[in-house]
Amino acid sequence: MSARTVYTMLEETAVLYADKPALQQPAGGGKYRTYTWAEFRDRVQWTAVGLSTIGVQTGDIVALQSETRAEFYFADLGVMAAGAVAAALYTSLPFAEQAHALRYSDARVVIVEHPKAMEGLRTALRAIHFTESAPGLQWILLTGAVEGAITLDQVIEKGQRELASDPHAFERIRARFDDQALAVLYMTSGATGEPKMGLVTHAALVVNIDMTPAVLPLTADDCTVAFLPSAHIAQRVVAELMPLRTGSCVWFSEGLSKLPHELRSARPTFFLSPPRVWERMYSSILAEIKKRPAPVRKMFYLALGMGSRAARLRRAGEPVPAWIRSSLRLFDKIMFSKIRERLGGRLRYPISGAAPLSKDLAEFYEAIGMPLLEGYGLTEGGVVSVNPIGRVKPGSIGKLLPGIEVRIAEDGELLLRSDVNFAGYYKDPSATAAVLRDGWLYTGDIATCDDEGYYYITGRKKELIVSSNGKKIYPARIEGLFKKEPLINHVLLIGDRLPYVTAIITVAGDPAAARPVVESTVKSVNRQLPSFEQIRKYKILDRDFSIEHGELTPTMKLRRSRALENHRALVTELYAGREFE
């Protein structure tokens, strides 16, 4: 097994591409502060040494609370380079939940983005009396300054001074641990229960990153825009760690509202996004098309149909007729290329991850000449699969990365074995034993595999609905059929131990105005389902599901049990007063 650590990847790349841009951090007014690979490496090294001067030891847990930005990368990788464990908090969660995670993690150093976040977290910690039991908690600010905290710049200065007086200080820190040391504590988002904390070693991260060039051939000339929370494994692997190996440049986003402009200006060649962003872009395109004159609308749908037909023929290995190819060249020039320009016009690898992508949505992007590379990964098993470039199958999670072994259990559960598997859940040996058995990771996902080696996730074991007549229903598959309707935000399927299937639906905009569209969409979905899976009744909620109400995870996955509990009265109405558990 390789003895390389996460810092080793950065070190190797900084030697190869010392003066090439590594990070582009917004500096206000449309300007960016550029960090080269050499500067990136130095700042991480200084941070690691600086942290050691304030008492951070090998194996210590350091919490990070920040949006994704250059300073987060310096701190995150600096923590790992010091032999400590980086535990990023989901900033989208209420401070009370962040405080709960922080207390459970046993972190004694907390790195926060700015004074406002620090005050919010400290207030939440005081409310649970944590500061009384942990008076020695150290605070580090990435930006700004406030009494009771030191800044990242001051940590870096401490590291510089220490190295000036002792040039071998960093090498001694590195010698204290190897690739089997813990590197990251992932706060899982808890879609099917209480959040757990997954521990991952340097070796697991490096092995996973070393698998990617075979499926995603990035170079130092490639770049991306990072906007997802760094607490999430998809962001951590694809937009933070993978560029360490490839030398690709990362542009940081200032937020979702500015992302469309940032994509056009940065012109990324690869871009990771959850399905929700691809859905919003699709909705925006349809909304614009509906405003165009009838001849333009007719031409767009004609082009889309032709693109879909060409894509189906290519997937089947059949030739695309010359008349379709020539027509599509024209449609691409006047329509589809304009859509792709919204993402900068250079995007070769549009990646969808973090949640299931609906097959219909995948087929739309394939039809306009921008097939999405849907992949699959999880905190406990790293990045596992991705659709091959040029051979995408909509609806699938693609093919396995080299080195990943898979078994499908008798009940359909996907089992994984590889050097990428996590080390276990923090302070939870029973939960670890439940998912790691004889070297195999029990994912909890139900999967199938076709004769070409493409895998499909059909649902979660914990979300399985068994109706009162014994029929098994996987809600994720049915809920996914609604994703092509831009007006519908979420669908919560109900029916476990009950006589028929119902749903709670949330919409964008006015629920009353959306009713005809929802009714039509439910009928359309029902026509695609056997009778026992069809939705007999539904209610449109007067608000969307939210993180604040505990119904969504930080990665926008539905927490079914909490949503059901919050809307128990509605469910009772759907079943004419019948109680449910």
pLDDT (tens digit per residue) in 187-226: 865 444 456 899 999 999 999 999 988 899 999 999 999 9
Residue 286: predicted pLDDT: 86
Residue 232: predicted pLDDT: 86
Vertex 557: Cα angle to 559 and 6 (nearest 5): 120
Query: For residues 231 and 238, is the Cβ–Cβ distance under 8 A?
Result: no
For residue 316, is pLDDT > 60? Answer: yes
The model's pTM is 0.85
Q: Which residue from 61, 112, 107, 60 is spatially nearest to 91, judged by alpha carbons?
A: 112
Instruction: Give the DSSP H/E element, type plus range, for residue 78.
Output: helix 70-81
Residue 62: predicted pLDDT: 97
Query: For residues 492 and 476, is the Cβ–Cβ distance under 8 A?
Result: no
Instruction: Give the DSSP H/E element, type plus range, for residue 473.
Output: strand 472-473
State the fold for domain 275-345+348-460.
Answer: Rossmann fold (3.40.50)
Could you tell me which CATH number the domain at 464-574 has? 3.30.300.30
d(CA 96, CA 101): 9
What separation in angstroms does the CA of 464 have from each of 217, 406, 443, 446, 527? 38, 22, 14, 10, 21
Q: Which two tokens stand for residue 108?
A: 């004694």
Query: For residues 122 and 55, is the Cβ–Cβ distance under 8 A?
Result: no
Q: Which two tokens stand for residue 541?
A: 């909620």
Is 3.40.50.12780 the CATH number for 6-177+216-269? Answer: yes
List of long-range contacts for 358-361, beta carbons under 8 Å, 24+ apart: 358/275, 358/480, 358/481, 358/483, 358/484, 359/394, 359/395, 359/480, 360/481, 360/483, 360/484, 361/275, 361/278, 361/279, 361/282, 361/483, 361/484
Rounded mean pLDDT of 75-81? 97
Residues 8-66: pLDDT tens digits? 999 999 999 999 999 999 998 889 999 999 999 999 999 999 999 999 999 999 999 99
Q: Which residue from 188, 151, 153, 191 is spatially nearest to 381, judged by alpha carbons?
A: 188
Q: Which two tokens stand for residue 506?
A: 């949330």
Vertex 56: Cα angle to 9 and 144 (nearest 5): 85
Question: At 552, phi and psi to the nearest 5?
Answer: -125, 145
Residue 250: predicted pLDDT: 97
Question: At 505, phi and psi to the nearest 5?
Answer: -120, 135
For residue 132, is pLDDT > 60? Answer: no
Look-up of token digits 């921008």: 370
Q: Which residue from 282, 237, 274, 231 is spatially nearest to 256, judged by alpha carbons?
A: 274
**261: Cβ contacts below 8 Å, ≥ 6 apart:** none
Same fold, 275-345+348-460 and 464-574: no
Q: At 73, is the secondary structure helix, strand, or coil?
A: helix
Look-up of token digits 């009772």: 572
Distance of CA 545 to the CA centre of its chain: 19
Task: Give the count of beta carbons closer than 10 Å to the beta carbon of residue 240.
Answer: 18
Q: Which two tokens stand for residue 318?
A: 């059949």
For residue 446, is pLDDT > 90? Answer: no
Distance of CA 253 to the CA centre of its chain: 15
Q: How many CA atoms lie within 13 A of 522 on its CB side?
A: 23
Query: For residues 2 and 237, is the Cβ–Cβ distance under 8 A?
Result: no
Instruction: Give the DSSP H/E element, type plus range, for residue 38.
Output: helix 37-53
Q: How is 294-354 classified by DSSP, letter by letter?
A: HHHHHHHHHHHHHHHHHHHHHHTTPPPPHHHHHHHHHHIIIIIHHHHHTTTS--SEEEE-S
Q: How many CA atoms lie within 13 A of 417 on its CB side?
A: 8
Query: For residues 145 and 186, is the Cβ–Cβ distance under 8 A?
Result: no
Distance of CA 71 to the CA centre of its chain: 20
Q: What percent of the chain has pLDDT over 70?
A: 96
Q: Which residue from 8, 168, 143 is spatially nearest to 80, judged by alpha carbons?
A: 8
Instruction: Give the DSSP H/E element, type plus range, for residue 242.
Output: helix 242-246
Q: Which residue from 216, 235, 254, 232 is spatially nearest to 24, judged by alpha carbons?
A: 254
Q: Which residue from 164, 65, 147 is spatially nearest to 110, judged by alpha carbons?
A: 65
Query: For residues 61 and 107, is the Cβ–Cβ distance under 8 A?
Result: yes
Domain extents in the chain: 6-177+216-269, 275-345+348-460, 464-574
Q: How confident is the model at residue 475 (pLDDT cuts 50, 70, 90)?
A: confident
Q: Which residue from 561, 540, 570 is spatially nearest to 463, judged by alpha carbons?
A: 561
Q: What percent of the chain has pLDDT over 90?
A: 57
Residue 1: predicted pLDDT: 37
DSSP class of residue 435 equals H
Residues 526-572: pLDDT tens digits? 988 888 889 999 989 889 888 888 888 776 777 887 888 888 888 88
Residue 189: predicted pLDDT: 52
Length of the chain in residues, anyone?
581
**542: Cβ contacts below 8 Å, ≥ 6 apart:** 511
Determine the angle formed by the axes of helices 70-81 and 37-53, rounding to 10 degrees: 60
Q: Which two tokens stand for residue 117?
A: 């976040």
